[in-house]
Structure 1
Amino acid sequence: MSQSVLRIGRVIEVNGSRTIGELEASVDDLYRTYKSRKYTIGQVGSIVKIESGDLLIFGIVISLRMEETDSTQANTAGRTESSAKWIEIELFGQGHKTGLGEAEFHFERGISTYPLPGQAIYLATVEELRRIYAKPDKPTIKVGSVAQARGLPVHLLTNELLGKHFAILGTTGSGKSCAVALLIHSIIEEYPHSHIILLDPHNEYYRAFPEKAEIIDPTSLEIPHWLLTLEESIELFIGRTEHAATRQTNILKDAILQARKGFPDQAMPIEKITVDTPVPYRLGDLVSNINASKPSQASKAESHEKILAKIETLQADKRFEFLLRPDDSVSDNLADLLSQLFRIPDQGKPLTIIDLSGVPSDVVDVVVSVLCRTIFDFALWNPKRSEIPLFLVCEEAHRYAPRSEEASFQPTKRALARIAKEGRKYGVGLALVTQRPSELSESILSQCNTIIALRMSNEQDQHFVRRALPDSVRSLVDTLPALRTREALVVGEGTAVPVRMLFNEIPEDRRPHSADVPYAEAWQKECGNEEMVRDVVERWREQQR
């Protein structure tokens, strides 16, 4: 039986997983002291318990209020008096006692027996919390500590977190990028032969993994044009505004198919090659095929000329060198490209960071689409997929899988959606990272079975996250605006129980290059000069970061 000093109230109403309690009149302070340790009373997010014989029922405090009534006595007319302090609790788990000690119980998630009105409500002790948040008998990674008890570590379930996808949501400055870096650090330290691909749109993660990552930037990025599917080729060579131009699509389709079949020393039988088969072809052959099919009458050749003009424009643009390969450099090097991209073998670098900051904005969607599709297709056709699972981390996910149909590039959105919906079966995990969850595709986010929500002040974003969370913890969304930096609410398959946690702090030299610019400090002294400006101009022109 718990000590009376831990008793703070009694149950007065039970409604599904939610319980209403009344605090005792003696509760007039924020703390109770037990075994020389202070325990807060009624703090939102704190854990309480209800004893029912050999069963301990645990819940999270989600709200606290005081009800006041007008006095009817004549001598106190016009005054108000406190009648009761109400505490609202979300039940999340139960413990079956196995002994007389505080921590001698077997904890399990979910409720089989509900409390009865009148039963006492107690503060959960540190020993009981230690038992609730104990490291499970499954593979885990340690990422932080319980926010209400700093000494209690938080372990996330590795297979459930990675295999069933997760999302990291939080406003700018909430510690989102550091949380991503910490999770990846924890994963690769525990599992040094990981295969993680990180899409980095702002070039901020290179300094966080100086020795463990293969950095691929626009100067080393190679996505050959022949790796694109017909749909992606249409996006590149015709453009979004021309998708309805069926004639141009047919011209391009026939030309690409013939170019693939006509490539010398083709690795597979010609009759098995389709327009989407990832075998090489030369742009020169593509142009020749389009010219060969061009009618002699100029009025009927307009569609052909548009495609040829677009190809010529792209070839002349230095920014597209990573995509449009010269004819003399086209070779069947797909296996080498995938080996570097997926780190097979890892060679001590289990992480690939793809810097997208220098990729032209009008082709970045094509690049992301090809990368996502290639990751899924590789796993799909890999008979040893269970031995080499892949994991994709997509920063600024709302850019590539937006909620709005009009704003999205459909191949990219479909590629991410396919990983989200089918990746689990083929050994492809997905992490979505965004500061604007309300702009992210709801169907894709719904496939993330673990939600890591950091501070979030936008009401629209909070409403969106509330819909994505299980019913039993939706009310905890109200605490998001008050979370501290690095503090997060973690719910879902990746954690044994919902937890409000504080991520471990990362050393300064291992943090992403995403810290806020210190205006007040920078503007105290003169730093710039004309030489610096000339250097920036030169880097700009040479496309060097």
Structure 2
Amino acid sequence: MDLRKSALSFGKVISVDGSKVTVKAESLRNLDGDTTLYVEVGSFVNCGGFHGDTICTITRVLIEEVERRENIVENKIVELSIIGSKGVDGRFTRGADKLPSIGCDAFLLNGEQVNFLLGINLDEEERKKYFKVGRRSMNGAGDAYLNLDKLLGRHTAIVGTTGSGKSSTVARIAQSILESYPKPRLIFFDIHNEYTNAFSGTWQQKANCIEWDSFSLPYWFLDLDEFISIYYPEAGGTQKMYIKEMIEELKRLDIPEPEDQKVSVDSPIYFDMDTLIGKISRKRDGETTEAKRDPFNKMILKIQSIHNDTRFSFLKRDMDEKKSLAAYFKFILGLDSDNQKYISVLDLSGLPAEVRTICVGVLTRLCFDYRYWDMDPENLPIALILEEAHTYIPEDSSSKYTLCLERVEKVAKEGRKYGLSLIVVTQRPSNISSTVLSQCGTFVTLRLTNDLDQNKIKRLLPDTLGDQADILSSLRDGEALVTGDAMTLPGKVLFDPPAPRPKSNDVRFHKAWIDGPPPGYSVEDISKWWITRERNITQRD
């Protein structure tokens, strides 16, 4: 495809300084058929000449006044940043063998040309790698596509302040994947029960929305550290040793020899909690003094209190059927052969605050182990979408976050080798683990107003964006600066609105305070749900 359309020529190169190019423009807008393209910050430009085709992005546009005798001449100056070049195969490639020559022409690139450079309009096999998510914000810049392999192969961060359209952007990306690929595998960690609504209607047949009262995380799947963190976080070294020995013995009960010797305390095999408590009691009764019995009394009281606490019922929800690991993953991943599901939304809104970080860490570790033991990473690649990630993987050395941080950071560093990807979603990137963010290859940055958040993201963005990174506080709702591996040519993208939307809209105070409470509003019902911890999610029109 011709990248040097005469109708889109707007000036000539007058200066080249490393990766910076200056163009003296003859005009700041060009007609491309029925479409008008403007010379504006973020637009893509080809500096074409005998050296080849150098692809740049506009970082600054200004008028330079020059005094000449009795009049003042206004020069239109456009500053560019080099981001790559056209390779021998006609595709975009990062870097440039030769820099533009002084005097060579500068051409605006339209959407069709940009997508051709990316390979979106080439052969059918290449086109399968891309899926449409919206359009580029610049006039005439065309539709915006993401490269699925690079989006998920190298992890992604989606960041934006509250109200910037973050949840809608996440939902749109997931819906676009479902539209473009028949058999994906996405798992949402839905902290506030927002996304069930986004995958209702036309998406319902493909979605496995697991409500809180159906969600389970069997206690026998916990490894020793996770079990201790939930059931007895104050345990000392000796108490941990006793618990380890007893659980290991219980897990080996129904395993025939010599296979039982391969079973460890971390093996995801069912054991009965009451039997464990009974073993601890007998161990206590064998001690001769009250001082020696006291640690076992504490152990029993703590484990029993958690086991009988209705807030932790999700840990024993599958106890009667002694759910196996295989059955659990078929349920979570929607792998029922008669009713396949391709996106799982786990409603985690009911998790007790004190164990939320641990449970997210457990789910992440289980998914990692599942992919680790599948010897081919392409058999069933999985993407984990971590909503409100700053609440459980913060840049914090506090011990209550340690377990979850270790598990998520391990996936960030090693997951892509096993076909496990992360999409980290947060409104406070300054509070997120730097280890996790540094492993992300793509950044979808919506509006950010906090200085700390802006500065952390700016440090992670490529220098070729120039002053474009300064627009983060003025982006529109649903508009993002997309950079990194999944979008080789970085820039502003206005994401298509999801249909339907997640339940993340701002509360309509004006409507509620005009109409008053809806018919049937009952303080008694709310009190009952509070006491029984059974949430009844309703939404007024």
CA separation in 2, counterparts of 1:150 and 1:361?
48
Aligned residue runs from structure 1 range 266-277, under 5 A: 269-277=259-267
1:14/1:116 contact within 8 Å kept: no
| Residue of structure 1 in register with 2:143 after alignment | 153
Work out whether residues 11 and 120 of structure 1, in 8 Å CA contact, stay in contact via their aligned partners in 2.
Answer: no
Deviation at 1:467, TM superposition (A): 2.0
Alignment correspondent of 1:259: 250
Identity %: 30
In 1, Cα distance between equivalents of 2:68 and 2:77: 22
Q: Which whole-Å deviations, capped at 9, do the CAs of 1:490-534 have from their partners, x for residues lacking one?
A: 222212322321111223xx1101011121232223235784222
Amino acid paired to 1:47: F
Shift of 1:88: 2.9
- Select which of 255, 276, 285 maps to 2:275: 285
Q: Report the CA distance shift for 1:357/1:266 in structure 2 as closer, same or farther (over 3 A).
A: farther
Do 1:488 and 1:502's aligned partners in 2 also have CA atoms closer than 8 Å?
Answer: yes
Match of 1:44 in 2: 41
Shift in CA distance, 147/379, structure 1 to aligned 2, threshold 3 Å? same
Are residues 1:14 and 2:17 paired? yes
Q: Choose the corresponding residue for 1:115, options 95, 100, 121.
A: 100
Evaluate the alpha carbon distance shift between residue 8 and residue 384 of structure 1 in structure 2; reply closer, same or farther with a 3 A threshold. Answer: closer
Deviations along 1:163-197, one digit per CA (max 9) or x if unpaired, are: 22211111111211111111111112222222221
- What does residue 194 of structure 1 align with? 184
Residue 463 (1) aligns with residue 455 (2) = yes
Q: Please state whether the residue corresponding to 1:116 is helix, strand or coil.
A: coil
Residue aligning to 1:182 = 172
SS of the residue aligned with 1:44?
coil
Q: 2:57 aligns with which of 53, 56, 60?
A: 60
1:470, distance to aligned residue in structure 2 (A) = 3.2
**Structure 1 Cα separation of the partners of residues 305 and 181 of structure 2:** 46
Q: Is 1:217–2:217 an aligned residue pair?
A: no
Asked whether the equivalents of residues 282 and 330 of structure 1 are also in contact (C-alpha less than 8 Å), the reply is no
Which residue in 1 is equivalent to 2:539?
A: none
Contact 2:81/2:466 (CA < 8 Å) preserved in 1?
A: no
**Aligned pairs, how many?**
520
Structure 1 residue runs of 5 or longer lacking an equivalent are: 99-104
What one-letter code is carried by the residue in structure 1 that aligns with 2:56?
A: G
Could you tell me the TM-score, scaled by structure 1's length? 0.87
1:131 matches 2:120: no
Q: Which amino acid aligns with 1:323?
A: L
Residue type of the partner of 2:95? G
Higher mean C-alpha deviation, range 369-378 or range 82-91? 82-91
Query: In 2, distance between residues paired with 1:260 and 1:170?
Result: 45
SS at match of 1:495: coil
Q: 1:266 to 1:353 in 2, by over 3 A?
A: farther
Residue matched to 1:102: none
Give yes or no for the alignment of 1:336 onto 2:334: no
Question: Normalising to structure 2: TM-score of the pair?
Answer: 0.87
SS at match of 1:301: helix
What secondary structure, in the 3-state scheme, does the structure 2 residue paired with 1:430 have? strand
Instruction: Return the offset for 1:125.
Output: 4.5
Could you tell me whether the CA contact under 8 Å between 1:66 and 1:82 is conserved in 2?
A: no
User: What is the RMSD computed on CA atoms of the aligned residues?
Assistant: 2.9
- Relative to structure 1, the CA distance from residue 408 to residue 3 in structure 2 (aligned partners, 3 Å threshold; closer, same or farther) is farther
For 2:335 and 2:83, the matched residues in 1 are separated by 42
Alpha-carbon separation, structure 1, partners of 2:119 and 2:143:
8
Alignment-mate amino acid for residue 332 of structure 2 = L
Q: Which amino acid aligns with 1:170?
A: G
User: Hey, what's the Cα distance between the residues in 2 that align with 1:370 and 1:278?
Assistant: 12
